[in-house]
Amino acid sequence: MLVKMDIQRVLFFKPGAIGDLLHALPSLKALKHKFPAAHISIVVSPELEALVQDTSIADQIIVFDKAKIKKSFSDFLGFGLQLRKCHYDLFIDLQPSIRSFLVRQLSGAKQRLVYRKQIRIRTGGRRLHAAENFMETLKPLGIDESVQNIVLPVQNEARRSVDRFLLRKKYEGSRVLIALNCSVGAARPARNWFSERFAALGDRLIRELGAAIIFIGGKEDQELTSNVMAAMNEKALSVAGVFSIAETAALLARCACLVSSDTGPLHLATAMQTPVVGLFGSTDPDRTGPLGKGHQVLVKKLSCVPCEAKYCPIGTRACMDAITVDDVFEAVRKAIA
């Protein structure tokens, strides 16, 4: 059913992880193109507002703190009623849940579109990338665009901050700058490659390609990153827990390549148009792999791949163990070429 087209105010609801938000950006761009005069508000998770502030991505940014609202029904009710005052014509829910259903009801939006994740592939069909799947939600609006890439503007202040940092650390110059992301976090350990292999990879990239290596990540990754660097024979640099998310994006925009498993920084690099070497096992690269040109995806054809499990069902991470340092090194060589 087509949505009525008298749309002046839109609420684009996409709180969630970094990758979730970035995969939704092509849909947001298509929406703005379809309704250039509409006022569009985007709802994001805490800290992710830093990625879209001071950009033309949306007219208003609203933070949805699920952890805080979960503890207080009055806060949740207040959030929904605050949205109701905005008189939205259209609510686009790309993060459906019981909680988002209640928010949709409280918002009083006249029309609503809700995302449906592709679970089964129909006969003759194919696996949709998450970004394509999100775009399907907009079909009732007459929007049916293909998704070629993800583009996120680099914020000027973050760019200047990164430039100053690299200059101070003497990382400016003729050396190729390569970023390594060692962790996907504690929630999905099945996706992790091995720290000793990141150390060996870093040494080879420095020795054989003359690269400058910089590790990225959050505060929770500082200990792991320090351990990896301690296991290296060559000198590297870490900004894990030091850079903000906007600064990390600006840094990735400066890099020739990022090596990472399937997690937020991988998608952030693709949005910066930086070539990625993606290490995939439990997740399907057809669904969440890097979009655009120049990327290298490493995935081994094992009977259990992809299992989509958070923890390796057989306890070995065989899919990640099968990806060797040689595999990744050669993929980096191709990506930076």
CATH number at residue 239: 3.40.50.2000
**81, part of any domain:** yes
Other beta carbons less than 10 A from residue 304's beta carbon:
14
Comparing C-alpha atoms, which of 224, 217, 171 is closest to residue 199? 224
Residues 169 and 102 in one domain: no
Say what the pLDDT of residue 3 is.
65
> How far is residue 31's CA from residue 92's CA, in Å, rounded to a whole number?
10
Q: Which residues contact 286 (CB under 8 A, 6 or more apart)?
A: 126, 127, 129
Does residue 4 sit within a domain? no
**Same domain membership, residue 161 and residue 137:** no
What is the pTM for the complete model shown?
0.93
Q: What is the pLDDT along the chain (337 residues), one digit of tens a residue?
A: 556 668 999 999 999 999 999 999 999 999 999 999 999 999 999 999 999 888 889 999 999 998 888 788 899 999 999 999 999 999 999 999 999 999 999 999 999 999 999 988 888 889 999 999 999 999 999 999 999 999 999 999 999 999 999 999 988 777 899 999 999 988 899 999 999 999 999 999 999 999 999 999 999 999 999 999 999 999 999 999 999 999 999 999 999 999 999 999 999 999 999 999 999 999 999 999 999 999 999 999 999 999 999 999 999 999 999 999 999 999 999 999 8
Do 173 and 136 lie in one domain? The reply is no
Do residues 135 and 164 both lie within one domain? no
Domain hosting residue 38, numbered range? 9-141
Q: Are residues 78 and 179 in the same domain?
A: no
Cα 330 from Cα 194, distance rounded (Å):
17
How far is it, in rounded angstroms, from Cα 298 to Cα 3?
41
Residue 285 lies in a domain: yes
Are 128 and 227 contained in the same domain?
no
Residue 121 and residue 161 in one domain: no
Residue 148 covered by a domain: no
Q: What is the pLDDT of residue 67?
A: 84
Specify if 198 maps to a domain.
yes
State the CB neighbour count (10 A cutoff) for residue 95: 21
Nearest-Å Rg of the Cα atoms of the chain is: 21
Q: 137 with 55, same domain?
A: yes
Residue 147 lies in a domain: no
CB 257 within 8 Å of CB 275: yes
